[in-house]
């Protein structure tokens, strides 16, 4: 096969790798291990676009390189196959989500395999496989049956807690969680409790527990949504209204691990930005919990957490979350209507919207007052949606002179803003949070500085029983239930209203078949439709399923031992593979998947089930490939209805059934830049003629174009880039693309419609995705792999331009022709390499190793291109150069490398077992050095000397040469300055 045919070569080697399981990793190897992992994908129906493989290509290069370095490499792939999209499709079509998911996975596997990734497919896992989620359920049961002992600073089995209760009751038990949720009892009382009472007493200590929790409830989808799935009060999928609702939910007590999660970040080789995002999300702060008694409501105390207890005298109002449990009790009759209206409006906003909206001030007065615990001053109690019930205590001590958000609230509602420090400035314009100066208007701490005042106030509050010093975290416990069908069933059943864990021997608890995939008529989750679905035929199961992140929180462990029926991972396999050495994935998972995975791993560590300290040692966030979007421009114009010469109405043209009219980008620009208005008048005339064809004139009624606004002339609309070539639209294809455009018209149609363009995120919604299948069919997978790496540094965002791949394709053909000159027969010789050839080769050996170790793949591709150009110019066809060069290229272009490796006489498919070429620095040392030679600093000539020549030898050679006779003008030489390896300067 003398002509390079990537499609033929690639199919050949992909089949070979699959048949021979070339990349199968061994759990029993004397080689050092290397575990490289991709964040596994959710298999959507759209398949991959060219932006998706970027990280996969990079991790595959590393995996192949590490094999050449003699390591036993684990490089697996699987699928995060539970999720809402498949369920929504099932609701719309009635097709079981498993069918859709299986079809999507088949597409993904085909696309991944055709790109030549060296995955060990024997280890593939799918979170929706019952043999996988059996162990997800098993881990949940371990959480359900554990509590966090603050004395030992780790999770323990619930039996150790019950033993403490039996011995000494609840006194002295230090457990993670809120003490307010628990009841005090003696050992004697514990012994007298019924089974149900004991379980109720234990529940608030469990790491997996039920609690009424505010959630994002979407009635249109019939499920709870995460904050990420809500945009502007609507569900991201479908655009249905979402409201905050108090519902019983399963939660995982991730807050027990807050401090360990924070400290562990210091040991990780992760991007600083990701670590900082997790630190901020965990949000450790040191402050005080303060109690504000409510006036006129005995026992109705409001607790707030503050990091600035020193400012308490400046607290001129309290702000409660609209969902706060005391709101109904505190609201006065006069304020009831306003409060109810405000709460209803708040329910339509997500937590994320409420937290991020700093521009708009809103709130409502409850009519009630609390007493400031330090001086008894009345403090009005307000509601505002920027306070969240699930964060802290759901109440804020508002100090407007020291906090800008409180300041804006106070300004808006005309509340007092007293100064509390003599160092505060410009309080008529903004808040000043300074800790400098001395306190004023502050009772017992007047004249004190920050540290003294803080200590004094905490001591005072503790003495009065109205507060205490406290370390707090922003991190909240993770809501674990979803009212969906397509997820892992939570292995819990109910007996007499009490939750019990399913016996481990009864796992997996498999999803039952149901008739429809939406909630029941009574509002129960879809699992409520299952018939005869009871635990051991008697007890009702939990009807919620687990969230999507459950299965992805531990999948990296299952890859180590995916077929084990008796354990989620064997002790031997876990100990051998240990931590993931390189984890590749998107930064968008920083406070979701990455945090939950660390939490589950630390929990498993507490139980002695894993041996490391963290799951992922090194993390790289690949950048995003940006698409080049194209736009068409639909004219915005109105039509006036004229009857008997009088304008009766003005309507949008589209409302009259007039087809959409599009204007080319070049003409649109001309009109908008036309100061004289001649072009817009010309356009008006064209449109007037146009509407006559669709809104015919009659004797009494006529239609005319209303005056056009050149600055709001057209609406840009995304158009599929596949029907645009060099920004020129295929108009016939455009009309067929969408039914609403099949009668589209183009003003002043001269046969060419020019689209606009913009570089933005590659997305199906923007119609700017490029299917890798098309590029692989045209250029080959190796070309696509190299091109994506060549686009720029891995971590950066990079614009996509399909035209650029042709250059990489040409490079691969040039590489092929080093072996097959002029696409002829193999012409590799056994001649020894010249110094110039060895210099080129060893420069590549050194550079590629350095680049891969530093994850700088784009510069490696450049190095290959330069080397091939040099070797082509040298006419190189020598095995001594081309064989190691093929090894170097193999991580980047594995199909071409395998083909050439076999042609060189090696066993088919054996390049992965070869050794990385040895770098020898002596081949980069120059034999001779060319020196510029100057007279009084002005270069006159160049002379070549041996690289080993001394300064004295060079000076002697210059003095004895004809250089002085030619350029010295007969002047005497004062001295000769030699800078070794750089230059010679003769001073005359």
Cis before 508 (ω within 30): yes
β-strand pairing of 378-383 with 756-761: unpaired
* Other C-beta atoms lying within 10 Å of the C-beta of residue 127: 27
Question: How far is residue 429 from each of residues 357, 386, 406, 408, measured CA to CA in Å?
Answer: 21, 22, 13, 10
Residue 526, phi then psi, degrees to nearest 5 = -55, -35
- Of 816, 70, 12, 144, which is closest to residue 491 (Cα–Cα)? 144
For the chain, the residue count is 988
Residue 225, beta-bridge partner list:
216
The token duo for 981 is 């390896």
Hey, what's the torsion of the CAs at 272, 274, 277, 281, to 10 degrees? -130
Angle at 845 between CA 779 and CA 837, to 5 degrees: 90
Q: How far apart are CA 636 and CA 709, in angstroms?
A: 9
Where do the H-state alpha helices sit in 803-856?
A: 805-819, 835-853
Q: How far apart are CA 903 and CA 12, in angstroms?
A: 14
- Indicate the angle between helix axes 665-672 and 678-692, nearest 10 degrees: 130
Handedness of CA 798, 803, 806, 807 (dihedral sign): negative
Question: How far is residue 575 from each of residues 23, 560, 619, 887, measured CA to CA in Å?
Answer: 21, 10, 21, 32
Q: Counting beta carbons within 10 angstroms of the beta carbon of residue 136, is it exposed (0 to 12), middle (13 to 18) or buried (19 or more)? A: buried
905 backbone φψ class: left, alpha, beta (φ>0; ψ -120 to 50): left
Q: How far apart are CA 236 and CA 216, in angstroms?
A: 12
Residue 659, phi then psi, degrees to nearest 5 = -60, 150
Contacts 24+ apart (CB under 8 A), 784-788: 784/50, 784/53, 784/115, 785/53, 785/57, 785/60, 785/115, 785/116, 785/892, 785/893, 786/811, 786/812, 786/861, 786/892, 786/893, 788/50, 788/53, 788/54, 788/57, 788/625
Q: How far apart are CA 713 and CA 635, in angstroms?
A: 6
What are the b/e assignments for 262-272, b being 16+ CB within 10 Å? bebbeebebee
Alpha carbon distance, N-terminus to C-terminus of the chain: 67
Q: How far apart are CA 861 and CA 807, in angstroms?
A: 12
Residue 482: DSSP 8-state: B
- Of 572, 571, 563, which is closest to residue 131 (Cα–Cα)? 563
Residue 369, phi then psi, degrees to nearest 5 = -130, 145
* Other C-beta atoms lying within 10 Å of the C-beta of residue 188: 8
User: To which H or E segment does residue 311 belong?
Assistant: none
- Of 586, 596, 511, 513, which is closest to residue 550 (Cα–Cα)? 596
* Other C-beta atoms lying within 10 Å of the C-beta of residue 185: 17
Residue 187, phi then psi, degrees to nearest 5 = -65, -40
The HSE-up count of residue 328 (CA atoms within 13 Å, CB side) is: 2
The annotation status of 735 as a binding-site residue, yes or no, is no
User: To which H or E segment does residue 201 belong?
Assistant: helix 195-202
Which parts are annotated binding residues? 764
Which parts are annotated binding residues for ATP? 764
């Amino acid at each position: 096969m003398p002509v390079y045919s990537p499609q033929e070569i690639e199919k050949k080697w992909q089949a070979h790798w699959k048949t021979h399981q070339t990349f199968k990793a061994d759990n029993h190897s004397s080689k050092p291990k290397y575990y490289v992992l991709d964040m596994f994908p959710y298999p959507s129906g759209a398949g991959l676009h060219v932006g998706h493989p970027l990280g996969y290509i990079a991790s595959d290069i590393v995996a192949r390189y590490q094999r050449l370095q003699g390591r036993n490499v684990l490089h697996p792939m699987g699928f995060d196959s539970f999720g809402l999209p498949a369920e929504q499709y099932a609701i719309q079509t009635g097709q079981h989500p498993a069918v859709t998911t299986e079809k999507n996975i088949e597409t993904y596997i085909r696309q991944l395999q055709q790109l030549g990734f060296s995955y060990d497919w024997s280890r593939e896992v799918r979170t929706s496989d019952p043999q996988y989620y059996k162990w997800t359920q098993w881990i949940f049961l371990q959480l359900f049956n554990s509590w966090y002992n603050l004395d030992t600073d780790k999770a323990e089995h619930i039996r150790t807690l019950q033993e403490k209760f039996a011995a000494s009751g609840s006194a002295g038990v230090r457990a993670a969680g809120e003490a307010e949720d628990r009841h005090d009892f003696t050992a004697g009382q514990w012994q007298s409790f019924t089974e149900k009472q004991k379980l109720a007493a234990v529940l608030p200590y469990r790491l997996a527990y039920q609690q009424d929790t505010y959630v994002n409830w979407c009635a249109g989808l019939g499920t709870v949504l995460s904050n990420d799935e809500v945009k502007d009060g609507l569900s991201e999928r479908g655009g249905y209204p979402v409201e905050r609702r108090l519902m019983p939910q399963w939660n995982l007590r991730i807050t027990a691990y807050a401090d360990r999660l924070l400290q562990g970040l210091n040991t990780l080789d992760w991007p600083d930005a990701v670590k900082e995002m997790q630190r901020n999300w965990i949000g450790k702060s040191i402050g005080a919990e303060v109690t504000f008694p409510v006036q006129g409501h005995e026992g109705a105390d409001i607790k707030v957490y503050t990091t600035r207890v020193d400012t308490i005298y400046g607290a001129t109002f309290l702000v409660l979350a609209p969902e706060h449990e005391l709101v109904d009790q505190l609201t006065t009759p006069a304020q009831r209507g306003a409060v109810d209206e405000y709460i209803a409006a708040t329910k339509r906003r997500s937590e994320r919207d409420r937290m991020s909206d700093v521009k708009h001030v809103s709130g409502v007065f409850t009519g009630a007052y609390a007493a400031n615990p330090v001086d008894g001053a009345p403090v009005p109690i307000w509601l505002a949606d920027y306070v969240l019930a699930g964060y802290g205590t759901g109440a804020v001590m508002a100090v407007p002179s020291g906090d800008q958000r409180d300041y804006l609230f106070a300004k808006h509602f005309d509340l007092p803003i007293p100064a509390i420090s003599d160092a505060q400035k410009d309080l008529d314009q903004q808040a000043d949070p300074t800790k400098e100066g001395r306190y004023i208007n502050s009772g017992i701490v007047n004249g004190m500085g920050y540290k003294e005042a803080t200590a004094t106030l905490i001591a005072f509050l503790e003495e009065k029983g109205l507060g205490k010093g406290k370390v707090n975290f922003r991190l909240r416990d993770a809501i674990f239930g979803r009212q969906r069908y397509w997820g892992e069933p939570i292995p819990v059943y109910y007996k007499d209203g009490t939750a019990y864990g399913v016996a481990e021997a009864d796992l997996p608890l498999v999803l039952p078949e149901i008739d429809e995939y939406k909630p029941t008529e009574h509002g129960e989750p879809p699992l409520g439709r299952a018939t005869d679905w009871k635990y051991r035929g008697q007890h009702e199961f939990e009807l919620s399923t687990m969230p999507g992140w459950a299965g992805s929180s531990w999948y990296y462990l299952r890859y180590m031992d995916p077929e084990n029926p008796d354990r989620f991972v064997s002790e031997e396999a876990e100990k051998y593979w240990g931590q993931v050495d390189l984890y590749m994935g998107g930064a968008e998972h920083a406070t979701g998947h990455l945090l939950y995975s660390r939490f589950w791993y630390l929990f498993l560590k507490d139980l002695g089930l894993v041996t490391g300290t963290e799951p992922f040692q090194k993390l790289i966030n690949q950048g995003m490939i940006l698409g080049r979007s194209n736009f068409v421009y639909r004219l915005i114009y109105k039509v006036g209805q004229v009857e008997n010469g009088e304008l009766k109405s003005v309507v949008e043209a589209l409302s009259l059934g007039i087809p959409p009219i599009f204007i080319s980008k070049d003409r649109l620009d001309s009109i908008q830049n036309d100061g004289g208005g001649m072009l817009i008048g010309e356009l008006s005339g064209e449109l007037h003629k146009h509407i006559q064809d669709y809104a015919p004139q009659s004797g009494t009624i006529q239609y005319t174009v209303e005056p056009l606004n050149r600055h709001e002339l057209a609406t840009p609309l995304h158009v599929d880039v596949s029907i645009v070539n060099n920004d020129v639209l295929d108009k016939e294809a455009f009309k067929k693309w969408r039914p609403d455009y099949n009668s589209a018209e183009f003003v002043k149609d001269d046969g060419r419609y020019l689209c606009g363009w913009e570089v933005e995120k590659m997305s199906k919604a923007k119609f700017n995705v490029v299917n890798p299948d098309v590029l692989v069919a045209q250029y080959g997978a190796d070309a696509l792999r190299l091109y994506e790496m060549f686009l720029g540094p891995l971590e950066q965002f990079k614009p996509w331009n399909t035209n650029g791949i042709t250059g990489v394709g040409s490079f691969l053909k040039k590489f092929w022709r080093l072996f097959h000159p002029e696409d002829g027969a193999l012409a590799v010789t056994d001649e020894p390499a010249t110094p110039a050839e060895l210099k080129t080769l060893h420069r590549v050996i050194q550079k590629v190793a350095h680049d891969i170790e530093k994850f700088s793949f784009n510069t490696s591709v450049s190095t290959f291109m330069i080397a091939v150009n040099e070797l082509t110019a040298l006419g190189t066809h020598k095995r001594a150069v081309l064989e190691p060069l093929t090894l170097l290229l193999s991580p980047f272009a594995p199909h071409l490398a395998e083909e050439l490796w076999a042609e060189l006489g090696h066993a088919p498919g054996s390049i992965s077992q070869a050794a990385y070429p040895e770098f020898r620095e002596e081949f980069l040392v120059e034999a001779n050095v060319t020196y510029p030679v100057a007279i009084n600093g002005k270069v006159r000539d160049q002379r070549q000397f041996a690289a080993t020549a001394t300064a004295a030898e060079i000076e002697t050679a210059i003095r004895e040469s004809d250089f002085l006779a030619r350029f010295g003008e007969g002047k005497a030489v004062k001295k000769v300055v030699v800078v070794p390896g750089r230059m010679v300067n003769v001073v005359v």
